[in-house]
């Protein structure tokens, strides 16, 4: 029998570990280009977007803390949310092919804290207080939730090829009834913080637990604005037969339809993840469940590939919102009186925020979808002093517009096109700057940070322009002061007899006054 006629065995589904190794370690060229894009993305944000946020106190009006370089360069993050005993910890251990430090599995609520599972050469646990202040970890913003939360947060590190590509965040199982009120911290706000930074959010349901408690409903509402990241996982699907599975799937979609108010249908994976498969599991849907599990693993495998695209997208979204916020604050400042009645004027503006938002939208041709929630903005506006905000800074707005119109689209174009499973990287279209970088040393500063003339960094900090009217005003004022000082001072000196010989000069200057 010739080689071409040799029957080939059916290709088995590759293990998660093997696939993730292909996606990263076998593509150093992709990772090199990825790192360069991330470096330039950090420059664009810190030099052209962050100054606008800082000038108008953007973080006070939103839940978004300022982004540091560690936040932008952080690995992709997967957030797991679900009721207790839906298989969140089992899902992590199945991916890692082992248990992570401090993991425990049982039918009762076992995970009573937020756990970030990360890669490290050795097993270790970092308490929440230490993790929130560590410059090597992307969790600095968590200290705003207080000690009650930090005592319920930890980082579990373990060596794993899977964790070299992304971080997994396990959350406490959501309870129902009065038990959910005893956490001691704002669970929904914490979920919102992690969802904003996550690349993928998995909502896990048990085939026998489809009810959505009040706390789970609030957690799902906290995902508003991040619907593109959310995937639903119906776990333990082999614990019901094929006919029952169809009914369970329909009941789940009906329950989600009452909570998730989006016209799009959420992607639902029907899987059954066990460390040890129970003997009473059904096999009539095994082919379907294996196919769904493969699709879920493919979604996870593509996270490192799509991480840079998502980061650019998040910076674009943040820049748009910060720009709208700056225009709103400048508009409200212009409506305030100069001296008296500021408290009454602020209350009136606060009461008429919808009208003011429409005025700003009409004046600057901004979509209303980019404006913040009225109630949240009104709450943040309480007690603010507009004296601390300057007038509309055209220079900062121009810098943010340049980032949105030029810099960020260029970074998106420079991302390499990666083939998910073949381990090859297609060569993207390069401009003249990128062509110079094909064979350069990755440790050297990037030449693309220079403009076409090579004289100045494209992402250099914006220097405010001098106000010519203020300069002319100061020159005229100085001239007048010098003139009157000379006339008056000279006249006094002559009268007192201090200076001789200045009479002709004084007589000459008097008619000019």
DSSP H/E element including 355: helix 353-364
Specify the pairing of strand 230-235 against strand 200-206: parallel
Beta-strand ranges (E) seen in 219-373 are: 230-235, 268-270
State the number of CA atoms in the 13 A half-sphere of 93 facing the CB: 16
Asked if 156 contacts 139 with a C-beta cutoff of 8 angstroms, the reply is no
Asked if 440 contacts 432 with a C-beta cutoff of 8 angstroms, the reply is no
Phi, psi for 298 (deg, rounded to 5)? -65, -40
Q: Compute the distance between CA of residue 396 and CA of residue 398 in angstroms, rounded to an integer.
A: 5
Sign of the C-alpha dihedral computed for residues 475, 480, 486 and 492 taken in this order? negative
pTM: 0.67
Q: % helix / strand / coil in the chain, to the nearest 5? A: 55, 10, 35
Residue 408 neighbours by CB distance under 10 Å: 22
State the number of CA atoms in the 13 A half-sphere of 348 facing the CB: 9
Reading phi first (left if > 0) and then psi (alpha if -120 to 50, else beta), residue 184 is in left
pLDDT in tens, the chain (513 residues): 433 343 343 344 344 433 433 344 445 666 677 778 888 999 999 999 999 998 888 888 876 777 877 788 888 999 999 888 888 888 998 889 888 888 876 555 555 789 999 999 999 999 999 999 888 888 988 988 989 999 999 999 999 998 988 999 999 888 765 455 567 888 898 999 999 889 999 999 988 888 888 888 888 988 888 888 899 999 988 888 999 999 999 999 988 888 887 777 788 999 988 877 888 888 888 899 999 999 998 888 888 777 778 888 889 989 999 999 999 988 888 888 777 777 787 788 888 899 999 999 999 999 998 898 888 888 888 767 766 666 788 899 999 999 999 999 998 888 766 443 334 433 333 333 444 334 444 434 333 333 333 333 444 444 444 445 556 767 777 777 777 777 666 666 556 555 555 555 555 555 554
Sign of the C-alpha dihedral computed for residues 254, 256, 258 and 261 taken in this order? negative
Of 150, 77, 153, the C-alpha closest to 111 is: 153
Greatest alpha-carbon span in the chain: 128
């Amino acid at each position: 029998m010739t080689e071409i006629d040799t029957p080939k065995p059916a290709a088995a589904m590759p293990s998660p570990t093997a696939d993730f190794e292909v996606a990263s370690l076998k593509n150093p060229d992709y990772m090199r280009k990825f790192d360069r894009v991330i470096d330039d993305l950090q420059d664009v944000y810190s030099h052209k977007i962050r100054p606008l946020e800082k000038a108008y106190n953007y973080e006070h009006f939103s839940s978004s803390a300022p982004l540091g370089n560690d936040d932008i360069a952080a690995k992709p993050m997967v957030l797991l949310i679900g009721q207790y005993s839906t298989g969140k910890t089992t899902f992590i251990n199945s991916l890692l092919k082992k248990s992570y430090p401090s993991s425990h599995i049982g039918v009762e609520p076992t995970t009573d804290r937020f756990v970030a599972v990360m890669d490290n050469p050795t097993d270790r646990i970092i308490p929440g207080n230490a993790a929130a202040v560590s410059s090597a970890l992307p969790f600095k913003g968590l200290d705003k939730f207080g000690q009650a939360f930090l005592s319920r947060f930890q980082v579990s590190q373990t060596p794993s090829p899977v964790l070299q590509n992304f971080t997994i965040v396990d959350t406490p199982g959501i309870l129902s009834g009065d038990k959910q009120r005893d956490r001691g911290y704002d669970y929904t706000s914490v979920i919102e913080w992690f969802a904003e930074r996550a690349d993928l959010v998995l909502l896990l349901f048990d085939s026998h637990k489809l009810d959505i408690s009040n706390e789970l409903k609030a957690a799902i509402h906290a995902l508003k604005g991040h619907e593109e990241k959310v995937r639903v996982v119906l776990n333990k699907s082999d614990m019901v037969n094929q006919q029952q599975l169809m009914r369970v799937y329909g009941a789940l979609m009906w329950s989600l339809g009452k909570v998730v108010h989006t016209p799009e249908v959420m992607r639902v994976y029907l899987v059954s993840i066990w460390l040890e498969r129970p003997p009473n599991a059904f096999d009539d849907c095994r082919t379907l469940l294996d196919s769904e599990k493969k699709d879920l693993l493919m979604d996870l495998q593509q996270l490192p590939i799509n991480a840079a695209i998502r980061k650019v997208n998040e910076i674009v979204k943040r820049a748009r919102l910060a720009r709208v916020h700056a225009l709103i604050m400048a508009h409200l400042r212009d409506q305030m009186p100069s001296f008296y009645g500021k408290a009454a004027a602020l209350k009136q503006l606060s009461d008429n925020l919808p009208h003011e938002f429409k005025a700003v939208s009409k004046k600057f041709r901004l979509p209303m979808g980019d404006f913040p929630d009225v109630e949240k903005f009104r709450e943040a506006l309480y007690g603010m002093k507009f004296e601390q905000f300057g007038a509309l800074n055209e220079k900062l707005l121009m810098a943010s517009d340049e980032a949105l119109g030029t810099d960020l689209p260029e970074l998106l174009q420079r991302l390499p096109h990666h083939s998910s499973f073949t381990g090859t990287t297609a060569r993207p279209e390069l401009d003249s700057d990128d062509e110079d970088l094909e064979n350069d040393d990755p440790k050297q500063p990037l030449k693309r940070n220079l403009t076409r003339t090579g004289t100045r960094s494209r992402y250099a900090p914006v220097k405010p322009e001098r106000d010519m009217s203020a300069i002319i005003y100061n020159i005229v004022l100085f001239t007048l002061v010098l003139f009157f000082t000379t006339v008056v001072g000279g006249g006094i000196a002559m009268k007192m007899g201090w200076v001789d010989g200045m009479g002709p000069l004084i007589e000459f200057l008097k008619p000019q006054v």
